[in-house]
Structure 1
Amino acid sequence: MPQGGEVHPCVGFWMGYFRCMLRNRVSLYFVLGDGDGDGGEGGLSLVAELISCLEAVLEEKSAALAFPGLRQVFMLNNTCAIMRRAVGSDLEPFLPPEWIRAREERMERYIERYMDASWAPVVSRLDRGGRTKPSAISRRWDPLGEFYSALENACSAQRGWKVPDPVLRGLLQETVVESVVPAYRQYLEDHPEVQVAVGRTAEELEQQLSDLFEG
């Protein structure tokens, strides 16, 4: 089981097997009862069902990963890998018209769930600071310190996480940056009295987050 959330080896094996199976589609159609050899609904449903079975196995395997966010990264990587192996290959003609869009929407949900699990709790530390002048009671809280601590914990936990596909990796990095950095920059603007630690400018934070998912 890949511990960094990367593509499971079974994806390449089974997607290759499905393609090999279709190369012998005359025999396959005979088994399906499609004597015309054009695939028909039987061929379409079979390929989609086989891939769905593979996806279900991957969902089960994701439960073995320790972090909720990592499970989403794992499913994101593997869904992307399945699409890369299906689209433009000899599998694509045997997939329903809505298949690609359904996987794209699924990947969007994986990204949303990853952000909710991994970064929403980090950004929420800044919400406690508000935009008003700190009172004697509120000075006991240290939203910025809590944010730094949560940030380091998140980055440390994700240090070994990998997104092999460069386009997907760039998208995920951009999503994290656009969620965390503006909130941090806004907090600093709203609280000019706080002392920003060395190496903690918004630009340096952006660079730190841009190094995620490299493994």
Structure 2
Amino acid sequence: MQRPGEEICRLKLWDKGQVFAATENLQRSIEQTPYSIQADTIVCCFSLSRCHSQSSSYDGYASSDGGDNPTPTSSNVRQLHYPSHAHMDPGHVQLILPGSMTLLEDIFHNYEVTFGPGYKEILLQAFSANSDKLCSFFYEADIPWILRRSTKSFKDPSECTEELITMLKVNTQVLCLMQQQLCEQSRPFEELKIGYFNQFAKCHIKKLLDIAVCLSETVWSATHICPMLLAYEALMDVLPLIQKFASSESGDFFSIILRNMREAFRKLIGHIKHFIQSNMEKHQDDVAIHPMTCFLICSMKSFGSHRNLVQSTLAPGDNSSSFGHLLYDVITCWKSVLTEHSNIYRADLQRQYIFLLNNAYHFNTKTDGLLDLLLSDTQIIKQHDDEFKLLFRKWIDSYTEEACTPAKSCLNPNCWWGSQRRSLVAFTSKFNKTFDRQKTWKVPDVVLRQVLKDRIQDCILPDYRRCLENCLSSGLFCSCLQIASAGAGYIYTTETLETTVQGFFEG
């Protein structure tokens, strides 16, 4: 009899054409995924320069779904989650050549007769000794194509995430299908079939693990949040499958990969904070919403699309290292540097408060509902909500006082009639100066814009109405009109003043 294992090494068990077809079908199911149940707004990068160049876009990003969920993409194409292994379809393929399974079982039976009760150990040792020959199938065939490439050829895995994810998903599925069809056709010699497969696929499983480690060790920049999350989602999808047929010496890989992912995620949080800090100074006066506000919103949406991953796998728990606490630190960092950056308007406090209100309100509006899910902890949620309410109240009150006091201080409804006339003229001059300067200021959010207009109106209109009524009751209104026609200034009626106030921030 030939040496143990040689017959099996020479046995043509796999149909190369069918394996190739399965690989093609699996790849196609990734590239043309129809699985809308897994779809959400996903982005793979954020372009700071694009936000600067598109000052007409208040959000600083394009919308792919009608405007409700804006995303910082270079186009309106949506990137879906990659389908899980349960939704990948290899097609109706039979990977084992007809009749070859019977030949394999005949070989096993002959060894059983020849070597007796110890034949299993002899064959399993033979498989291990001949593992290089057993796995040569993949080298002879150009399938699965992606296993032929070394991870060393990927200089920056964050720039080729799609290819690496495809490597993991397609090849893991091909190997799973091979193992399944090897063992499902008949139950005899199942232990030997699994032993054969473990050695047959040993080199390729090692390559898959190398890819997984490569992705887990990658240093992800703040602008690669989504590729990182997509990669980690793929890892969590395929690693349990690989673990089922990986050899015992590969056991440490899984704990190493998970530890790497968690460490890299915490580093990413630090990179996000640094990115916001270092780019906050890049701001154009005609852009109402700062690009870093847009960036933070988009980051939140990306995290929201992978909420289970970040909360239960990458940053689990309820302590200071949990995802809710990490995200709250990022938001706190953004608020701090935003407030500090607003000092560029310190010579114009009204402009400073509008800038702060625009960004804070925009962030709150775009993350409404999502933020509670991400922060998770009720105490953190309450702290965040209380802080934002306090800031809104403070900034709106401060803006209203700064904007209205100069004109309002001119009004004195209790003074004698000549002073009332002068106070109306002075009010008009001060108010017009404020209006001419602020009517073109951008307040993109409709609700915030109306709140500010109403606050201005509530602040100045009552005193103005009383002063005007005193003029009317004393018969001075005609004199005011005469002054206006002589070029001394236009005197508002209550109605025209209301209309003018409603013209603020329409720039």
| TM bucket, shorter chain | 0.7 to 0.9
What residue in structure 2 maps to residue 9 of structure 1? 291
What residue in structure 1 maps to residue 113 of structure 2? none
Q: In the alignment, does 2:28 pair up with 1:28? A: no
What residue in structure 2 maps to residue 212 of structure 1? 504
Report the CA distance shift for 1:160/1:171 in structure 2 as closer, same or farther (over 3 A).
same
What residue in structure 1 maps to residue 327 of structure 2? 47
From 182, 186, 189, give the equivalent of 2:469.
189
What residue in structure 2 maps to residue 177 of structure 1? 457
TM-score (norm 2): 0.37
Report the CA distance shift for 1:21/1:212 in structure 2 as closer, same or farther (over 3 A).
same
Deviations 1:123-176 (A, max 9, x none): 11113xx414347xx59x922221111011101121221111111111111111
What residue in structure 1 maps to residue 201 of structure 2? none
Counterpart amino acid of residue 16 in structure 1: C
Aligned counterparts of 1:5 and 1:124: Cα–Cα separation in 2: 32
Report the CA distance shift for 1:4/1:183 in structure 2 as closer, same or farther (over 3 A).
farther
What residue in structure 2 maps to residue 148 of structure 1? 428
What residue in structure 2 maps to residue 32 of structure 1? none
Aligned counterparts of 1:5 and 1:104: Cα–Cα separation in 2: 24
RCO higher in 1 or 2 (8 Å CA, sep ≥ 6)? 1
TM-score (norm 1): 0.82
When the two chains are superposed, the root-mean-square deviation of aligned CA atoms in Å is 2.4
| Contact residue 126 and residue 184 of structure 1 kept, 8 A | yes
| Contact residue 441 and residue 506 of structure 2 kept, 8 A | yes
Aligned counterparts of 2:344 and 2:396: Cα–Cα separation in 1: 19
From 427, 435, 438, give the equivalent of 1:158.
438
Q: In the alignment, does 2:355 pair up with 1:83? A: no
What residue in structure 2 maps to residue 200 of structure 1? 492
Aligned counterparts of 2:431 and 2:390: Cα–Cα separation in 1: 28
Q: In the alignment, does 2:387 pair up with 1:105? A: no
- Equivalenced residues, count: 202
Aligned counterparts of 1:88 and 1:171: Cα–Cα separation in 2: 22
From 114, 118, 133, give the equivalent of 2:416.
133
Aligned counterparts of 2:298 and 2:427: Cα–Cα separation in 1: 45
Aligned counterparts of 2:286 and 2:464: Cα–Cα separation in 1: 27
Matches within 5 A, 1:115-126: 115-126=400-411
Aligned counterparts of 1:55 and 1:15: Cα–Cα separation in 2: 13
Structure 2, unaligned runs of 5 or more:
1-282, 485-489
2:411 aligned counterpart, secondary structure: helix
Counterpart amino acid of residue 498 in structure 2: E
Structure 1, unaligned runs of 5 or more:
30-36
Aligned counterparts of 1:2 and 1:168: Cα–Cα separation in 2: 21
Larger radius of gyration: 2
Aligned counterparts of 2:439 and 2:295: Cα–Cα separation in 1: 28
- The alpha carbon displacement at 1:110 in A equals 0.8
| Contact residue 4 and residue 160 of structure 1 kept, 8 A | no
Counterpart amino acid of residue 164 in structure 1: P
Q: What percent of counterpart residues are identical?
A: 25
